[in-house]
Structures are given as structure tokens and as C-alpha cells.
Amino acid sequence: MNAALRAVVRAALGRGAEVIGFNHGYEGLINDESRNLDSPSVGGIIDRGGTILRTARSAAFMTREGRDQAMAVLIKNGCEGLVVIGGDGSLTGALKLQEEFDYPVCGVPGSIDNDISGTDFSIGFDTAVNTAVDAIDRVRDTAYSHERVFVIEVMGRRNGFIALEAGLAGGAEAILVPEMPFSLPDIGAELLEAASKGKRSSIIVVAEGAAKADDVREALSECTGFECRAVVLGHMQRGGSPTAFDRVLALRLGHLATNRLLSGFRGEMAGLAGNLLVSHPLTFVLSSERQIDPEKLLLSEAMAQ
Amino acid sequence: MNAALRAVVRAALGRGAEVIGFNHGYEGLINDESRNLDSPSVGGIIDRGGTILRTARSAAFMTREGRDQAMAVLIKNGCEGLVVIGGDGSLTGALKLQEEFDYPVCGVPGSIDNDISGTDFSIGFDTAVNTAVDAIDRVRDTAYSHERVFVIEVMGRRNGFIALEAGLAGGAEAILVPEMPFSLPDIGAELLEAASKGKRSSIIVVAEGAAKADDVREALSECTGFECRAVVLGHMQRGGSPTAFDRVLALRLGHLATNRLLSGFRGEMAGLAGNLLVSHPLTFVLSSERQIDPEKLLLSEAMAQ
Amino acid sequence: MNAALRAVVRAALGRGAEVIGFNHGYEGLINDESRNLDSPSVGGIIDRGGTILRTARSAAFMTREGRDQAMAVLIKNGCEGLVVIGGDGSLTGALKLQEEFDYPVCGVPGSIDNDISGTDFSIGFDTAVNTAVDAIDRVRDTAYSHERVFVIEVMGRRNGFIALEAGLAGGAEAILVPEMPFSLPDIGAELLEAASKGKRSSIIVVAEGAAKADDVREALSECTGFECRAVVLGHMQRGGSPTAFDRVLALRLGHLATNRLLSGFRGEMAGLAGNLLVSHPLTFVLSSERQIDPEKLLLSEAMAQ
Amino acid sequence: MNAALRAVVRAALGRGAEVIGFNHGYEGLINDESRNLDSPSVGGIIDRGGTILRTARSAAFMTREGRDQAMAVLIKNGCEGLVVIGGDGSLTGALKLQEEFDYPVCGVPGSIDNDISGTDFSIGFDTAVNTAVDAIDRVRDTAYSHERVFVIEVMGRRNGFIALEAGLAGGAEAILVPEMPFSLPDIGAELLEAASKGKRSSIIVVAEGAAKADDVREALSECTGFECRAVVLGHMQRGGSPTAFDRVLALRLGHLATNRLLSGFRGEMAGLAGNLLVSHPLTFVLSSERQIDPEKLLLSEAMAQ
């Protein structure tokens, strides 16, 4: 997020605009927690996780009164447009400002779940996947040394993007995602067969939206009789210094969104399509859903042999 | 562990002895899972977590019959002494071989909990602490950005060594260890007071033997009304490439234990006292208990202000 | 590379084929250093840098006699096709086998320089960039604390792919690549201007093909009078546990190349175009050149303000 | 350094004192670059490399006039004592203030070279060693895959502390330090003998004060005919998020120094002896020299077999 902020600020300054930031997201916008953002204020932050502006959920912004107040603050501060960095909820809020007040907004997709339509990658996803893979690598050392089955639960309530990517990269024997039905007895049978060929340790990666690690552990333990352990990565997957990919992505999307807004485009979200930058209407982004890549699902099966 | 193995093998070869390893610990010893260990066999493993010899619990070795069988295997393989790398359980087993059969053994302390007497540091502790601190750093990014309280549970069933070290290094606001009584309402009151001075995010580190993260989370949430989250690091703390400190420690202890054994000393465990190598009788090691450092407990209070 | 090997082996086994690997690349092929690769032989290697097959330059393979010998070895081992993982040189060798002997080959692009046409990303690039960024982050700590200018030389003899990506992600004040002319006096003037506004530390990233770090350091030191230091990352950029992106990329490309070869396609290289897999003729791949992305060059200028 | 600063500030506040920091070391002291340091000002910095106070060399402080000016600034700011965090140079400056003005000072040893007497470890050493080992691990991947000899130059102008520790932990075949004579032809002969037994890759670690990596590379290349490469780690070894060990060490030493100063002790430096805190007179610290540990030198020879 900090890299995106850096890009927004420097792109705007480069075109002669001034930039004001609001702490605590929409809540801070309503409460006028503004701060001036000049070029040095976003120096030295590109390697930091989280966001220097902090964030907060805002119940008030869900109401029309809250948004009226937010608009008043924007006008009071002389803001002529708003760049919003965040996930579905934040982007929906931006679209409301645009629709209700015809106020110029532009979105930058930030979501470690990578569940935002209109872009192949959201800011934070690559970092979260690498953090999960690092944890899987550590667990694999123990799985190998102790010859056990480990069930590792990663983030992803509604989808399996992190699970699929981290499972592939972590060399998991099975990957459970909400998008695909699975059978724990079948997986247990595969573990038994693998064990009969001498393979005594296995890693199962499961998206939190597909099953609870502990339930999978118990079920596999019962079918196989093997010692199974569950690990829930949880909030450890957030934060940490962002990967190079995420930093460059954030710079590119923040830069594009700001330039589009300053050039008069409105109600769009900057995104990546392959290696190219695109900008889609927020109405499109928020009414469609990213699908998991079937090629990668097939790949995970082929690799598990 | 791999670094210790490397040291044992190279120290022994350097003195003209041959080295045989047994896979799967005592279980593999009973089953004669021996393998020849020459110098190249321990090359290129110093940076790997876990152990190339794997490990396993052995119920059989707990019985006199099992140990008779183990002795028979040692004799059959022409072994004139045994170096055991591991924790309290492994060292107890070694002592039994020595006492029951007058067989020469020497121990090397490996335990990420750092709970082995007779040495200031056990192999694996520094790596586990750094892994925990890395996770705390990541969580702190989120704690700061979202202004929440996070309760992070680290390993340590019987003691708070990891919790205290990782909590200090992670800048935790409170550290809960089994060795010290604590009051969750008091901690809640401190969080409220800190919040009144503008501090909105906090990290509480808790040893698994002191309390469950989720119970702490619930109690603090109730006293303070703040949004609290629990993170259980679990098996992720094991494994991973060892730190420089752990590698050098393992080399030093493995080297010493092997040299002592080859020089005719028996029933000892190599250890570190300050920066000096020592070798204590296993009987002493296994009958005493490492105490947590009161200076560091005081330090954690002074730093939490 | 190891992840690609894993994918090749498991894809082939999944289709009923057997797999033989040759150590030391073409040199080992000529010398028949073959080894059988079954499924377990590629287990537990996905997180390891380098390649378990090792590699070597082969002067012999450059000659027709060498290639005759290589063909004889392939036939002797009953190989019906060859998957080659590597850079321009390796792929050129594969194409020669195909053209001279009508032998079925398929390529997988591996090059940390990312200079292979026909794919947006080569295996190893993302890992190398992240390693460089990690080093830049460390140097920036010192640059900030000591208020100095640091010139960091990264790999890239013929192009600036690593420099541009690592420079952007590392927040560099200037990025020097072979593809773009640059003026050291101009950069010096910018440093002086930045210093006049209070900015006292700067990072300059330079591709080894654009200039020597030490020459840049000397030139900037002269124009500005600032204390400048040079750091040459060198071979440290190679090796290390691969990133999630590189591992998944390697699995996808290795899997595709193997399936294409087994399906009767010949003389192709698997590649990534955006997020989609593609397979281009080696003749095309080897006769065209990857261009640096002008959008990112512009971005680097916009961010340096 | 930031962790030490945190400890100094919180220890002082805990005893009712106020804390003022000076940016840019002695230079900033002379120029009165003071800033108030309250508890929040040192929050969230424990995981950051470098120092928030920045640092600078001060030619002025070398003169009596400069020190007179520094004293005037200390008095003007109402400072009743000074804690100095740094290496030999910084500590010498502190001693001068004490001797010339009878002003209360206390030192905290910060030096990644670990060359300060009176303490087993200086702040920054463990982090620098781990950074060097991480780089050696990466280079070893390439050394192994390409079967080459790599000569890696690490910091240490006057001593071999980093080289010895990093070389041991990195599994180096030879470690060259200024404290011990060495013969490159002998090392070349050992490489040839190892190669005759099938060992084709080697890592040589050399302290910058013992020899230039490039000279070693050339000499070994000549005696052996092997492909040798040189890597100079340079400033990359500084900076980066500190290890757990360094953070806890910094907290302990900063806490002790501050408490000693507030309790009326003067002219001391806090240090670690084994696991115990000690405080030695600066006169002793600055007149003696840390010696390299002969046990570790012997260990490095035993491990290289």
C-alpha cells in the first residue's frame, strides 16, 4: 500500500497537483484527519508493510449522512478528486461518492486475497503468497524429519487464490479450495498409497473458505492412522516487507490511477491485464468476479503424483 | 541438527574413527537403519533445517527389551560409542544405555525450547526465536495499520524462554510466561491507559504453557472493548534454514562431544557456558532445570512503558 | 530450475513416459552422465536454488563431432525426445539437435536476466530481482543513517531488466540501463538539487552493461562533492530459495513443454504471455530480442522526483 | 542501534528522567540538533536497521574547540549525562568529555566488526554475520551447480570476527583472517586434493583485512587451474532488520548503561560477559583489544576436511 501511496503522490506532484492524505480511510475522511503529502513524506516507505495512513472500518460511511459529511470534508479541503486504495469494500465506497455526488474518484486494487475483478493481480497478493510459502517450507522441514502429515490453512474465505498459488509453490500433495469439490477419504487413500511407496510425509494446503485445518487433520488422521498436524497461518500472512513484484505493481497502478484521474477520467480502477496496464469502470469491476485459473488446478493435480 | 551431525562426522574422521548414522533415532537404532557417514555425506547440509537422519518417537526403546535390541545392533555394527543429538528424552535414553550396559555415550543438546540444563543455549533455539520475531514483525505491521491488539502464542509448554526472548525482540507490550503470575485485568487496564495516551495498537506475546492465545484475546477484549485478534504460530516455528548462531553452536557442541567421547570421557553432554565450551555429566543435566533469566523479565517490564 | 525439473518429470510420468536426466548439461550428455528420474527423485527440491543436475559449459557440444556424440548417447539411452531448460545458449544447442538430426526437442526458458524472447518472464528473474531489492533495502538503511550516495551495480550485461525492476522496487533515485542514454553530470545536478531541498541520501542502481559502479561513483563524487560509495552485488544475486512466482512459473512452463513434446510438437519453447501459457518456435525465439518496457522507464523517472 | 535507543529512552523515563537525542552524533551535538525523545518516539523502530538519529563523522569534535562547543550545548539543553552508542571512535569521544570536563558519560558498544573490548558481543555483529551467511548460502547454490571455486570477501579490516563466524556457519572450505598467517599455494593444493576425491565446488571466505578477494581468486586460479570467482559483499552487510539476538542485546546494554549513569556511575561501557551484563571503565575498554577465539580457528580447520 505504501508503494501505491508513493506513486499517487509523486505522479500528482509531477503534474502540478497537491496531495492530501486522510488517515484511517473513510472514517478519517469523515473526521477530517487530513495530512499534507509532499514528496519527502512518501520517501523511505517503499519497503514497509502496512500503510502509513493506517486504516479502519467505517460504519458511518455506510450511511448517507456519513457520506454527506465525507463530501463536506473533501470540499472543505479543496480536494478535486479522490484516489482510493483498497479492496471491494473501499472501491464500493468510492463508487458511491461518484454516483451520489458525481465526485471524481479512481480506484487502486489492494487485496491480499486477489479477489478483485478487472485486474490479474491485486497489491499484496504476491507478498502474502511468498509469506505462506516460506511458512510451508519451514513446516516441510519438520514434516520430512518427523514423517508426518501437515495440514496448513491459508487465507481465502471466498476463494482459493492464495491456497492454489502457495500450494503449488510449496509442493503440496493436495490443495483444497472453495471452488472445487474434494473428498477427504480420497485424499486419505492417496496418502496411504503414497506411504506404501515409501513416501511418509505430506503437506496439504487448505483455503480457510474450503475447510478448517483441524477438521481436515481429524478426518485424514482417522482414514489413514497417520500422525497429522494442523497449522493455521492466520494474520501472520499479512504485513512484512513487500516483494519486488508487489512494489512495482503498486507503483504502476498508483501512477496510472492518478494520471487517469488528473486527465479527467472518472469512476475507474487501474488494473493489470497480463503485463499491460488497463483501467476498467468500477461498475464493471464490482459486478463481476475473478475466477480461479483452471490450468493451475490441473497443474496441481499433475504435480501431486 | 544437520550442522551438529556435520561436526560429529568430521571431528571423528579427523581422529581416524569411522562414523555410522542411524535413521529415525532410537527406533531406527533398534531396527538397524544404519548408514555410513563419510565426509561428503555431510557436505552441503549446513543450511538445511530438520535433519537428514530424520527422527521418530520410539516406544520400544522405553522398554528394557528394546534397549537390549539396540545394544545388539550397536555391537553388530562395531560401534564403540554413541553420540546422541536431541532433547531431554533423547538424552535420558542415552544415559540409560550408559547405566544399563556401561556403554560410552555423549550428548549434544538440541531443543528449540532451550529447556536443557547444563548449557546456556540448545541448538535450534536462536532459529526458533528469529522465526517468531519475524512473524511478530509482520503482525505488528497489521496491528499498527488497523490499530488492533494482537495476542501471539509461541512455543513453550513448560517455560517461557522463546516467549521472553521473542517478546523482547518483537517489542511486545506484555509477555506472559509460565514462570510468572500475571493478571489479564491488569494488562487490560494498561492497554486502556496506553490508549488514553494515543497508543492504539499492541502486541501481547504468550507462551503456550502460560495461557491459550484465544483465552487471552477474549479476556482482553472484554476488559477493554478493543478489537483483539489471536495468532498461534505453531509448527511454523520449527524448521527453516538455521541462523548463523545456531550453526556455529551446533558445530562447536558436536565437535566437542565427539572429541570427548573419543578421548575416553563418558556420559557427558557438551554445552555452552557464556562463550566457553563445557561438558557436564548427563546425570547432572537431567536432574536440574534451567531457570528463566530474572534480568530479562525485569527488562521486559521496563521496556513496555 | 529444480521446480521446472520436477514439473517435467511428473508431467512425463503422468503420461506414462520414463524420464532420464543428464548431469552437467550438454557436457554430461556427451559423456553419458545419465540418471533415472522417478517421482521421489524430484521430491523436496522445489525450495532449493541451483539445480540438482548441476550445469557446465560445453565446448565439445559447439562442434559437430560433439553433437554427433550427444545424439549417440540419446539413442543409446532410448531417449525419444529432449527437454532443455536454460538460456539462449542452451536453447540454441537444442535447436541444432533438432535441425541437424530432426530430433524432437522442447525448451524451457531459464535466465535470471530475463533476456529470452517469446516469454514475458524467464525462470529465475523474479528471484534475482527480489534478492537485489533485499540488498538495496539494506544499503538504504546505511545510506539514510550516514547520509551518503550509494551506487549499486546489478546484473545485466546486455539489458537493464533487473536494474529497472529492482531500481523501481528499491525506490532508487536513478536507474541506469544500457537501453537508454544517460548523463552523469545531469544526475549529479539532480542530486545537488535534491540536497538543497534537504534530501541527503540517494540510491543509484546501474546495470553492469550500462556502466561500472565505481566509474559512476567517481563521476558523481566529482560533480557533487558528496561521499559516494559503490556496491557490486555480483554472484550473490544468483542462488537462494526461489520465490513463489518463480516456482509456479517453472512448474507451468516445465509441464507445458513436456506435454507439448509428448503430444508430437517439436522445436518449441514454452513461455508466458501475460498470464497465459504459449509455445513459440525456437527459430522465432532465437531470432528476436526482448525489449525493455518503456512504461516502466517513464515510471522510474516519475517516481524519482 | 534503534533498539538500544529504545532501551535508553524507556529506562530513563522509567526512572523519572527526561531524554533528549542529538541527530548526527557528535556533529549534531556541536550544532545542537537536539530532539525530545519520549516513549512513543521510540515505538515501532525495534525492527528497523540503521538509526533514526542518523550519524555522521565529526572532524570538529576531534578538536578541543569542538568539544567545548559540545559541552556548551549539553549544558544549554540541561543534559546531566550522556549515553553514547557506537564504536571505538564514539567511545573515545565520550571518554574525552569525561576526562576534560568531568562530565558523566556511559557507553553502549555498537560495531558490526565486534572489535570492542569489554564485551563479548557488540550490537550489529550478529545481524552482519547472518547477512553474510545468507549471501554465502546463495553463492554456494551457484558454486555447487556450476562446480566452481568462490572467494567471498567479508568485512573486517583489522580482525577476522565476521569472517570466522560467517565462514564456519557458511561451511567454508577455508577462512582467511588477519590474525593468522595463511598460504594460498597450500589452500590451492587442498582444493586440488579435494577435487581428486570428487569435490568440485568450494567456498573461501576472506576478511577484507587479510587479503583482497580478487587477489585470492587469481592466486588460486593459477595454482589449480579451476574456474574461480570473487564476490565482495561490501556495504550490503550493513543495514537490514536486526536479528533477535542483536535486538535483545541492544535492549539489555542500553538499559544497563542508562541505569548505571542515573545511579551515579561514570565513564563506563555496558557489556556482555557470557550471558551476564557487566560494566567496564572506558579507560580499560579503549586500552585493550578483543582477541579472536582460538577454539573457533581450530574448529574451522577441523570442519574443512
What burial class does residue C78 get, using C-beta atoms within 10 Å of its C-beta: 0-12 exposed, 13-18 middle, 19+ buried?
A: exposed
Among A82, A90, A125, A137, CA closest to A106: A82
Q: What per-residue confidence (pLDDT) applies to D55?
A: 85
Helical residues (DSSP H) of chain A, grouped into ranges:
2-14, 25-30, 64-76, 88-101, 125-146, 161-169, 184-196, 213-224, 244-262, 282-287, 294-303
Hey, which residues 232-261 in chain C have their CB within 8 Å of chain D?
232-240
| Residue numbers of B annotated as active site | 113
Q: Where are the domains of chain D?
A: 2-124+242-287, 128-239
Q: With CB atoms and an 8 Å threshold, state whether B234 touches A239.
A: no
Q: Is the separation of the CB atoms in D267 and D86 below 8 Å?
A: no
Which CATH superfamily groups domain C128-238? Phosphofructokinase domain (3.40.50.460)
Residues of A whose CB is below 8 A from C168:
247-248, 251
Going residue by residue through chain A (305 aa), what tens digit of pLDDT does each one get? 899 999 999 999 999 999 999 999 999 999 999 999 998 889 888 888 888 888 888 999 999 999 999 999 999 999 999 999 999 999 999 999 999 999 999 999 999 999 999 999 999 999 999 999 999 999 998 888 888 999 999 999 999 999 999 999 999 999 999 999 999 999 999 999 988 988 888 999 999 999 999 999 999 999 999 999 999 998 888 888 999 999 999 999 999 999 999 999 999 999 999 989 999 999 999 999 999 999 999 999 998 86
Which residues does D235 contact at the CB level (< 8 Å), separation at least 6? C138, C139, C142, C150, C229, C231
Which residues does B17 contact at the CB level (< 8 Å), separation at least 6? B262
Q: Is the separation of the CB atoms in B280 and B118 below 8 Å?
A: yes
> In this predicted model, what pLDDT tens digit does every residue of D43-100 receive, in sequence order?
888 888 888 888 888 999 999 999 999 999 999 999 999 999 999 999 999 999 999 9
C-beta atoms surrounding A224 within 10 Å: 19
Q: First CA to last CA across chain A, in angstroms?
A: 39
Residue C275 has pLDDT above 80, yes or no: yes
Distance set, CA A40 to CA A7, A78, A241 (Å)? 12, 22, 20
What is the spatial distance between Cα C37 and Cα C20, in angstroms, rounded to a whole number?
A: 5
Q: What per-residue confidence (pLDDT) applies to B305?
A: 67
Please calculate the CA angle D270-D271-D272 and round it to the nearest 5 degrees: 145
Q: Which amino acid is at D240?
A: G
The three cell numbers of residue B294 are 530474572
Q: Is the separation of the CB atoms in A263 and A16 below 8 Å?
A: no
Q: Which phi and psi (to 5°) does residue A2 adopt?
A: -60, -35
Chain centroid offset of residue D146 CA: 33
DSSP string, B70-104: HHHHHHHTT---EEEEESHHHHHHHHHHHHHH---
> In this predicted model, what pLDDT tens digit does every residue of C171-228 receive, in sequence order?
999 999 999 999 999 999 999 998 898 888 899 999 999 999 999 999 999 999 999 9
Q: Is the separation of the CB atoms in B96 and B107 below 8 Å?
A: no
B276 touches chain D (CB under 8 A): yes
Residue C15 has pLDDT above 90, yes or no: yes
C-beta atoms surrounding C65 within 10 Å: 11
Among C148, C154, C157, C149, CA closest to C135: C154
Q: With CB atoms and an 8 Å threshold, state whether C241 touches A137.
A: yes
Respond yes or no on whether ipTM tops 0.90.
Answer: yes
Which among A239-243, C195-199, D239-243, D245-249 has the top mean pLDDT?
A: D245-249
Q: What per-residue confidence (pLDDT) applies to B47?
A: 87
More confidently predicted of A65 and D146: A65
C-beta atoms surrounding B176 within 10 Å: 25
Q: Taking each helix axis from N to C terminus, what angle separates B64-76 and B88-101, rounded to the nearest 10 degrees?
A: 80
C-beta atoms surrounding B286 within 10 Å: 19
Among A110, B132, A8, A248, CA closest to C130: A248
Q: Which residue has the cell 506513486?
A: A7
Out of A40, A132, A303, closest to residue C198 by CB: A40
Helix (H, G, I), strand (E, B), or coil: what is residue A77? coil
Q: Cα distance from B127 to chain A (closest Cα, Å)?
A: 11
What is the spatial distance between Cα C244 and Cα A130, in angstroms, rounded to a whole number?
A: 5
What is the spatial distance between Cα C14 and Cα B58, in angstroms, rounded to a whole number?
A: 37
Distance set, CA B201 to CA A59, B303, D176 (Å)? 20, 16, 48
Q: First CA to last CA across chain B, in angstroms?
A: 39
Q: What per-residue confidence (pLDDT) applies to C305?
A: 67
Out of A7, A277, A299, closest to residue C252 by CB: A299
Q: Three-state SS string across chain D, please?
A: CHHHHHHHHHHHHHCCCCCEEECCHHHHHHCCCEEECCCHHHCCCCCCCCCCCCCCCCCHHHCHHHHHHHHHHHHHCCCCCEEEEECHHHHHHHHHHHHHHCCCEEEEEECCCCCCCCCCCCECHHHHHHHHHHHHHHHHHHHHHHCCEEEEEECCCCCCHHHHHHHHHCCCCEEECCCCCCCHHHHHHHHHHHHHCCCCCEEEEEECCCCCHHHHHHHHHHHHCCCEEEEECHHHHCCCCCCHHHHHHHHHHHHHHHHHHHCCCCCEEEEEECCEEEEEEHHHHHHCCCCCCHHHHHHHHHHCC
Which residues does C294 contact at the CB level (< 8 Å), separation at least 6? none
Mutate one of C45, C251, C278 to test the A interface: name it (highest A CB count within 10 A). Answer: C251
Distance set, CA A86 to CA A1, A51, A122, C254 (Å)? 8, 11, 9, 35
Domain B128-239 has CATH 3.30.70.980: no
Catalytic residue among D32, D113, D137, D214: D113
Distance set, CA C35 to CA C18, C52, C53, C72, C96 (Å)? 11, 11, 9, 16, 23
Going residue by residue through chain B (305 aa), what tens digit of pLDDT does each one get? 899 999 999 999 999 999 999 999 999 999 999 999 998 889 888 888 888 888 888 999 999 999 999 999 999 999 999 999 999 999 999 999 999 999 999 999 999 999 999 999 999 999 999 999 999 999 998 888 888 999 999 999 999 999 999 999 999 999 999 999 999 999 999 999 988 988 888 999 999 999 999 999 999 999 999 999 999 998 888 888 999 999 999 999 999 999 999 999 999 999 999 989 999 999 999 999 999 999 999 999 998 86
Chain centroid offset of residue B204 CA: 22
The three cell numbers of residue B147 are 490499530
Q: With CB atoms and an 8 Å threshold, state whether A137 touches B234.
A: no
Q: Is A113 a catalytic residue?
A: yes
Residue C38 has pLDDT above 70, yes or no: yes
Residue D197 has pLDDT above 90, yes or no: no
DSSP C242: P
Q: What per-residue confidence (pLDDT) applies to C131?
A: 96
> In this predicted model, what pLDDT tens digit does every residue of D269-283 receive, in sequence order?
999 999 899 999 999
Beta bridge partners of D123: D110
Q: Cα distance from D277 to chain C (closest Cα, Å)?
A: 28
Q: Taking CA atoms, what residue in D is nearest to B249? A: D169
Q: Which amino acid is at B38?
A: D
Q: Taking each helix axis from N to C terminus, what angle separates A294-303 and C2-14, rounded to the nearest 10 degrees?
A: 80
Q: Taking CA atoms, what residue in C is nearest to D134? A: C240
What is the spatial distance between Cα C79 and Cα C256, in angstroms, rounded to a whole number?
A: 19
Residues of D whose CB is below 8 A from C54:
144-147
The three cell numbers of residue B199 are 497508543
Q: Taking CA atoms, what residue in C is nearest to A163? A: C244
Q: Is the separation of the CB atoms in C119 and C94 below 8 Å?
A: no
What is the spatial distance between Cα B217 and Cα B222, in angstroms, rounded to a whole number?
A: 9
Domain B2-124+242-287 and domain B128-239, same fold? Reply is: yes
Q: With CB atoms and an 8 Å threshold, state whether D145 touches C229.
A: no
Q: What per-residue confidence (pLDDT) applies to C94?
A: 96
Residue C50 has pLDDT above 90, yes or no: no
D162-190 mean pLDDT: 96
Domain D2-124+242-287 has CATH 3.40.50.450: yes
Q: What per-residue confidence (pLDDT) applies to A26?
A: 95
C121-140 mean pLDDT: 95
Q: Is the separation of the CB atoms in C79 and C36 below 8 Å?
A: no
D90 touches chain C (CB under 8 A): no
Which residues does C180 contact at the CB level (< 8 Å), separation at least 6? C160, C297
Question: C171-192: buried (b, 16+ CB within 10 Å) or exposed (e) per residue?
Answer: bbbbbbbbbeeeebeebbebbe
What burial class does residue B197 get, using C-beta atoms within 10 Å of its C-beta: 0-12 exposed, 13-18 middle, 19+ buried?
A: exposed
Please give the interface size between A and B, counted as residue pairs whose CB atoms are below 8 Å apart.
Answer: 101
Q: What per-residue confidence (pLDDT) applies to D304?
A: 83
Helices (H) and strands (E) in chain C, counts: 11, 10
Which residues does C38 contact at the CB level (< 8 Å), separation at least 6? C9, C13, C19
Out of B48, B51, B135, closest to residue A236 by CB: B135
Q: With CB atoms and an 8 Å threshold, state whether A240 touches B141.
A: yes
Residues of B whose CB is below 8 A from A141:
48-50, 238-240
Which residues does C287 contact at the CB level (< 8 Å), separation at least 6? none
Q: Is the separation of the CB atoms in D270 and D109 below 8 Å?
A: yes
The overall average pLDDT reported for chain D is 94
What is the spatial distance between Cα B301 and Cα B93, in angstroms, rounded to a whole number?
A: 39
Among A201, A210, A202, A151, CA closest to A173: A202
